[in-house]
Amino acid sequence: MSLLGAAGRLPATSDNLEASGLPRPILNSVSYQRTREMSIDELLLENRVIFLIGEIGPASSARVMMQMLYLENQKRGQDINFYINSPGGAVDDTLAMYDTMQFISSHVATFCIGRAYSGGAVLLCAGHKGKRVILPHAKVMIHQPYGGVTGQTTDIQIQAEQILKSKRLLNEIIARHTGQPVERVSKDGERDKFFDAAEAKAYGLVDEIAAFPPKA
């Protein structure tokens, strides 16, 4: 599989450009026998490419879910290319994106660029089997969910129970998509466990390591 998917090339996202203070480029797209100006975000979306860059939270998960549902509505059943470079984040938002990936009929091809840690690893391995790709120097990390438990004794007990439920659920999801026994996933995730590209493939987190194209 080509790492670059339908988009042809792997550009920077406009979120990164805005963060650096650079203007968002405007590109021209010719479709339906007309020319219109498009931002990089719009051009990527037109080519069924979406990104999760940075921490997983309400805003980033909402953006990914809306884009997936939009693409599903536009061309149901056509692959969606999902690029991940994330340190992880909120469990609930991770599960919301995971459920959306499983809900739609389009295959979601996942690509790890840089890192896919914690919830990012869950989303990476949840891509369609045979379409999960990692770059040669990218890394994956799994671990148990963190939780800052404070408050009264009863509240602490309730929160601790929810953390344990989340831990079991995430372990089951990773086991389901990697083919590893849930007991091994649970043991490996007791502490931060890092995988390089080859290790991630051997574990079943991805199917393929992307090869660098030859230089002209």
β-strands 193-195, 139-142 pairing: antiparallel
Q: What are phi and psi of 28, to 5 degrees?
A: -100, 135
By the 8 A CB rule, do 114 and 82 touch? no
2 in active site: no
Q: Which two three-digit tokens encode residue 70?
A: 């939009």
Catalytic residue among 14, 60, 106, 118: 118
> Which residues pair with residue 134 across a beta bridge?
112, 209
Distance in angstroms (rounded) separating the CA atoms of residues 49 and 68: 9
Please give the span between the terminal C-alpha atoms of the chain, in angstroms, as a whole number. 21
Catalytic residue among 143, 166, 177, 186: 143
Please report, for residues 13, 15, 33, 52, 112, the alpha-carbon distance to residue 18 in angstroms, rounded to integers and kept in the order given. 9, 5, 31, 15, 22
31 in active site: no
Residues forming the active site: 118, 143
